[in-house]
Every structure is written in C-alpha cells, then in structure tokens.
Amino acid sequence: MTGKQFVAERVASIGSSGIRRIFDLAASMTNPIDMSMGQPDFDTPEPIKAAAIKCIQEGRNGYTVTHGLPELRKTISAKLKAELDWEPSVFVTSGVSGGLVLAMMACLNPGDEVLMADPHFVSYPHLVNLAGGKPVKVSIYDDFRLHLDRFESAITPKTKAILINSPANPTGIIASKEDMKAMAELARKHDLLLISDEIYDLLCYDEPAPSPVPFAPERTLLLRGFGKSYGMTGWRMGYAAGPEAVIAEMAKLQQYTFVCAPHMAQEACITALNSDISEQVTNYRRKRDLVLSKLEGVFEFVRPGGGFFIYPKSPAGFKSGTAFVEEGIKNNILVIPGNVFSDRDTHFRISYALSDAKIEAGCDLLCKIAQSR
C-alpha cells in the first residue's frame, strides 16, 4: 500500500527522472566537492539575527497582518521609491517562492500562457502548471540574452504574462537595460503582465541589474527576496510589489494559505534592509572572478554578472550535460546538469557559493575531467 491512489494528477508531472537519477548517484558520494549549492555560504549578519531573537524574546510571536508588518512595508516602499522612483502596492511574502505561487494563482485562468526564458529557474514551469496555466519556454541559447524577436513570436491570444529573471539562475546573466526596455515595451504592446524575479538584485559584480520597472511601472509585478542577499534562505522572506489589483488578490490568497510571513523574520528584515552587505558582494565578486580565471580556455561560457552561478557548455568529449555531470560524480564533484533548468541537455550549472579553496579544487577537477577526452 503506497497510498498512490490518494495523490492528485497535478503533481504527476513534477520532478523529472533526470534530476532524480543525478541525486541518486550523488547520494553515494562521500564528502564531495559540492558545487550544486543554491544558497550563499556566508551566515546571516549578526544584527539581523539579534533583531529576530529580540522579537521572539519580547513575546511578539503571534500572527502579523497578512500584508506584513507596517514598519517593514514602509521600509520596502521607501527603498522602492528611492531606487526606482516607484510607489506600488507592497506586501510581504514567504520567500520569493511564496510570491511566485501567489502570483500564478492570482493571475492565471485555465490555459493562460506564461512566457519564460529557457533556461529558467527550476520551479517556474511547475508553478504555472499548478495554477492551471501553460508554461511557454523561449530559448535564449547560446548567449542568454532576452531575445525580443523570439519572445514576440511566442505570443498568442492566450499569453497573459512574461516571467523574467535577472540576474538569472542558472546563468548568472544580467539582462541589459535595452533588453529590459524592449521586454517592457513588448508587454505593453500586447497588454501582458511582466513578472520580474529579482531575487539576486543585490548580488551584482560589474554594474547593478536594470529592472523593467522604470519602463513599465504600471504592469510590472516585482518579486524580491532576502534569503540570497543576506544569507538567510531558511527564514523564508520576500516581498511583492506591483499593480494594486494584483497585490490585493495575492494578499487575499495569502490570508488562506501562508497567512503571513514569519513574524520574527519580518522584524529582522527591517534591519536587513538597513544593512550593508558590500563586504559579501566584494567576496562574491572575487569568487566569480576566480571561477572565470580557472575555467577560461577550457570551457565555453557566457560571463556571469551576478548571483553565484555560471552555466558552461559541456565539453566536446561528452554527449550531454548529464554525461559530464555523471563523470563529475565518479570523480567526487557535484554540479547540476542543464536539463534540470531547460529542455536542452547541453550545459551544466556550477555554483561558486563556497570557500575559495573549494572553488579552486572544484574548478581544477572540472578542467581535468574536460581535458581527459
């Protein structure tokens, strides 16, 4: 008796056998060089921890209002006004994932299509499907730019939204201002919602990531998070900002699902928004540069500008990203095959969110494997 008969059809399509196989293989590794991480290796800054502890110890442990603590919302609004000269409706979500779920549930009717780049963050198509929509993937290989013509030709009468992510997971690529402007104009031309996942907005190493907000303030739903920037992924904090009607419906759904983001984490996020993380950004820029210098000349890749990933092509002697990753596992190094993020299996994702020594050892090993065939 497995209980399979109780499980709904909507979950059947989730989880590809490809990644299951990689994780099964990875389970047998002892003390691997793990370059598969999706979170920073630095700890939450002390003042942020202290603010959460104070909140708990002073007995503020109950629900907050669904929209989030007024003081936190005020701080977020002030930031958006200062940075983007934008005064949208704002509410606090349980991570960016919470924001994504609510956005899809609030905006999609059955069969509504959502355009997204391929490669994409792993959960996007599943969340669109769960909400009854249809994910439409637009290939942005091989340069990972937001090709306007490819997005435009994927638009149908059913298209409801474009979901963009910059800096991107898995590529680390920051979309240019021109491409953001073009996407914003495309959304306006076809009356689409532009959902902008900016979870890596503070982790930029050459220049800030342009947001589509200045180009389409009336139709951008901005999703941002605290987890990656402040080393607090487990605290489950994010925020959504955008058109009043959309935010109101997302908040209504939050009332019946997540209820509110964790109270102590909300208080701590007020401190987070006033914290300086330039030291962490400097460290991650150095890590990015270290990876680039190590892989240069051996792997083909597009230089990443933010986040903590790089997405090289699998080397010539390997028939797919998965084949290269499997060879890596045999050599005790773990990276993620591109087919987890894509309909293609030609690349693999490296995370450089780990110590410099491990980055050096990991990159040396990856180069050795690449050059072995």
Ligand X SMILES: Cc1ncc(COP(=O)(O)O)c(C=O)c1O
Q: Which residues bind ligand X (CB under 6 A)?
A: 38, 95-97, 121, 165, 169, 197, 199, 225, 227, 233, 238
Residue 314 is classified by DSSP as: P
Pairing mode of beta strands 309-310, 348-351? antiparallel
Work out how close the CB of 327 gets to ligand X at its nearest, in angstroms, rounded to a whole number. Answer: 25
Work out how close the CB of 143 gets to ligand X at its nearest, in angstroms, rounded to a whole number. Answer: 19
Work out how close the CB of 168 gets to ligand X at its nearest, in angstroms, rounded to a whole number. Answer: 7
H runs (alpha helix) in the chain: 17-27, 46-57, 70-84, 95-107, 124-130, 148-153, 177-189, 244-256, 263-273, 278-295, 321-330, 356-371
Residue (227 or 338) nearer to ligand X, CB: 227
Work out how close the CB of 225 gets to ligand X at its nearest, in angstroms, rounded to a whole number. Answer: 4
Work out how close the CB of 301 gets to ligand X at its nearest, in angstroms, rounded to a whole number. Answer: 18
Cα–Cα–Cα angle for 209, 212, 213, rounded to 5 degrees:
110
Residue 274 is classified by DSSP as: T
Which of 250, 207, 277 has the alpha carbon at shortest distance from 103?
250
Work out how close the CB of 4 gets to ligand X at its nearest, in angstroms, rounded to a whole number. Answer: 28
Which of 151, 137, 224 has the alpha carbon at shortest distance from 192?
151
Work out how close the CB of 199 gets to ligand X at its nearest, in angstroms, rounded to a whole number. Answer: 4
- Packed helices 278-295 and 356-371: angle between N→C axes, nearest 10 degrees: 20
Residue (299 or 341) nearer to ligand X, CB: 341
Residue (121 or 230) nearer to ligand X, CB: 121
Residue (318 or 352) nearer to ligand X, CB: 352
Residue (245 or 259) nearer to ligand X, CB: 259
Q: Which residues contact 317 (CB under 8 A, 6 or more apart)?
A: 370, 372, 373
Which residues are 161's β-sheet partners? 114, 193
Residue (117 or 251) nearer to ligand X, CB: 117
Indicate the length of the chain as a whole number: 373
Residue 62 is classified by DSSP as: S
Question: Residue 333 and residue 351: Cα distance in Å, rounded?
Answer: 12
Q: Nearest to ligand X by Cβ — which residue? A: 95
Q: Which amino acid is at 234?
A: G
Residue with tokens 């410099």: 356
Residue with tokens 């997005």: 151
Q: Which amino acid is at 187?
A: A
Work out how close the CB of 109 gets to ligand X at its nearest, in angstroms, rounded to a whole number. Answer: 23
Work out how close the CB of 282 gets to ligand X at its nearest, in angstroms, rounded to a whole number. Answer: 22
Residue (43 or 296) nearer to ligand X, CB: 43
Residue (159 or 229) nearer to ligand X, CB: 229
Asked whether the beta carbons of 181 and 215 are under 8 A apart, the reply is yes
Asked whether the beta carbons of 147 and 173 are under 8 A apart, the reply is no
Which of 339, 300, 307, 333 has the alpha carbon at shortest distance from 320?
339
Residue (72 or 96) nearer to ligand X, CB: 96
Question: Residue 72 and residue 63: Cα distance in Å, rounded?
Answer: 15
